[in-house]
Structure 1
Amino acid sequence: MTTLTSADDPDRLLSINDVSDLLQLPVQSIYKQRSVGEFCPAYKIGRHLRWRRSELIAWLATRRDPV
């Protein structure tokens, strides 16, 4: 039986800093890409943005460079 750690939980909600760390992108780059509609959709909870880990990983797979 495989036990998922909280970091591996596909339903885990990620903060902007978590996403920044995971994708190795500056937070400002994520905000900029969001403002032009080029980033994975987020959930807005109050004033905070959250991404479901599984949705972010699936979105990332669609961004693969074909070369």
Structure 2
Amino acid sequence: MASTDELDRLLSIDDVSEMLQIPVQSIYKQRAVGRFCPAYRIGRHLRWRRGELLNWLETRKDPV
């Protein structure tokens, strides 16, 4: 299990893209239609808390 510090770590869009193995552009497109994990805007940058992203990902499990 990940430590609290690791779960609180902020991820850039490139980190998220690598973690989920999807292109950055796919993240932007899914965000535009409200189908991606909410991000924090820090200045002009988007950041995701790792723990929140993992929790959101769990809600996307394929039931089959």
Identity of aligned residues (%): 74
Larger Rg: 1 or 2?
Answer: 1
Q: Distance in 2 between matches of 1:51 and 1:40?
A: 8
Give the aligned length: 62
Q: TM-score, normalized by length of structure 2?
A: 0.92
* Normalised TM-score (structure 1): 0.88
For structure 1, the 5+ residue unaligned runs are none
Structure 1 runs (4+) greater than 2 angstroms displaced:
none
> Alpha carbon RMSD of aligned pairs, Å?
1.5
Gaps of 5+ in 2: none
Q: Secondary structure at the match of 1:17?
A: helix
